[in-house]
């Protein structure tokens, strides 16, 4: 698989915040987020700059599993970039992890644009659809990002699986300003996900940026009966790679 980094840390976002987890970060993404506040995504080295020398190269599924086996924990977080770009390899990885470790819990973090059979072997689908505020305006990526950021068919498949009890799900949205909630509510009507599975998170890659938006996001959660999630990794370590 094309891997950016492998590391052991704590889950920083969503339902399993604080859980010790082994992170498998894949390289490359099919989107190019630039948020309206000016930040690129917090893992731009896997999306905007995947050819950076400090990204790992191809690593076999077995090598990844061998690295995971060094840690006495049950959680695995497969993230990116966009892991679903490597659909075949992702299916193999999830299948082998499930068959090799009895108590393993696999979270897949994805933008939700690509659905595949890999989904049948995860425990939690963490879907983070990209809102209009993520469009990289005035760049060569603006048009394709705008066209590809939401795949309704794929999102419905993830939601249907969760309704059928195949895995748990969370819908995690980056909030740049209050009006973002309008787009989230529209998407909720289209896809049918429940408020109890929605997590709102401040956009920001520094503690200071998160602090400025935290109250606003908290008030949105209270008003719409949605869940608040912080970004524990930035609070603890800053916007640093965890290799």
pLDDT of 82 higher than 80: yes
The answer to the question of residue 122 being in a domain is yes
Domain assignment of residue 217, yes or no: yes
* pLDDT over threshold 90, residue 240: no
Q: In which domain, by residue range, is 142 found?
A: 3-237
Residue 191 lies in a domain: yes
pLDDT at 57: 84
* pTM, full prediction: 0.96
Here the CATH number for the domain that contains residue 211 is: 3.20.20.70
25-34 residue pLDDT tens: 999 999 999 9
Task: Tell whether 106 is covered by a domain.
Answer: yes
Given the DSSP bridges, would you call strands 198-202 and 227-228 parallel, antiparallel or unpaired? Answer: parallel
Residue 243 pLDDT grade (very low, low, confident, very high; cuts 50, 70, 90) = low
State residue 193's pLDDT score: 98
- Please enumerate, as own/partner, the contacts of 16-20 that have beta carbons within 8 Å and a separation of 24 or more: 16/75, 16/105, 16/107, 16/124, 17/229, 17/230, 17/232, 18/232, 19/75, 20/71, 20/73, 20/75
In a domain, 143, yes or no: yes
**242 in any annotated domain:** no
Q: How do residues 146-180 score in pLDDT, each as one tens digit?
A: 999 999 999 999 999 999 999 999 999 999 999 99
Predicted confidence (pLDDT) per residue in 203-236, tens digit = 999 999 999 999 999 999 999 999 999 999 999 9
**How many domains are there within the chain?**
1
Residue 128 has pLDDT above 60, yes or no: yes
> Which pLDDT score is estimated for 155?
98
Is residue 17 classed exposed, middle or buried when 0-12, 13-18 and 19+ CB atoms within 10 A define those classes? Answer: middle
Q: Band the pLDDT of 73: cuts 50, 70, 90.
A: confident
Evaluate whether residue 212 is within a structural domain.
yes
Q: Give residue 241's pLDDT.
A: 78
Residue 192 lies in a domain: yes
């Amino acid at each position: 698989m094309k891997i950016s980094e492998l590391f052991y840390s704590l889950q920083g976002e969503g339902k399993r915040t604080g859980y010790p987890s082994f992170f498998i970060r894949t390289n490359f993404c099919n989107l190019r987020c630039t948020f309206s506040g000016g930040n690129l995504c917090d893992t731009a080295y896997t999306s905007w700059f995947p050819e950076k020398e400090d990204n790992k190269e191809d690593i076999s599924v077995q090598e990844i599993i061998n690295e995971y086996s060094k840690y006495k924990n049950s959680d695995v977080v497969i993230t990116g970039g966009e892991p679903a770009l490597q659909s075949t390899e992702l299916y193999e990885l999830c299948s082998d992890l499930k068959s090799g470790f009895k108590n393993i819990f696999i979270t897949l973090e994805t933008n939700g644009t690509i659905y595949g059979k890999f989904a049948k072997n995860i425990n939690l689908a963490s879907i983070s659809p990209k809102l209009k505020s993520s469009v990289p305006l005035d760049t060569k990526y603006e048009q394709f990002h705008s066209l590809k950021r939401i795949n309704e068919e794929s999102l419905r498949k993830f939601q249907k699986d969760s309704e059928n009890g195949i895995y748990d799900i969370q819908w995690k949205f980056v909030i740049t300003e209050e009006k973002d909630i309008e787009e989230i509510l529209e998407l909720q009507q289209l896809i049918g996900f429940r408020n109890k599975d929605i997590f709102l998170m401040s956009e920001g890659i520094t503690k200071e940026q998160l602090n400025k938006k935290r109250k606003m996001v908290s008030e949105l959660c209270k008003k719409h009966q949605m869940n608040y999630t912080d970004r524990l990794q930035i609070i603890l370590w800053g916007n640093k790679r965890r290799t």
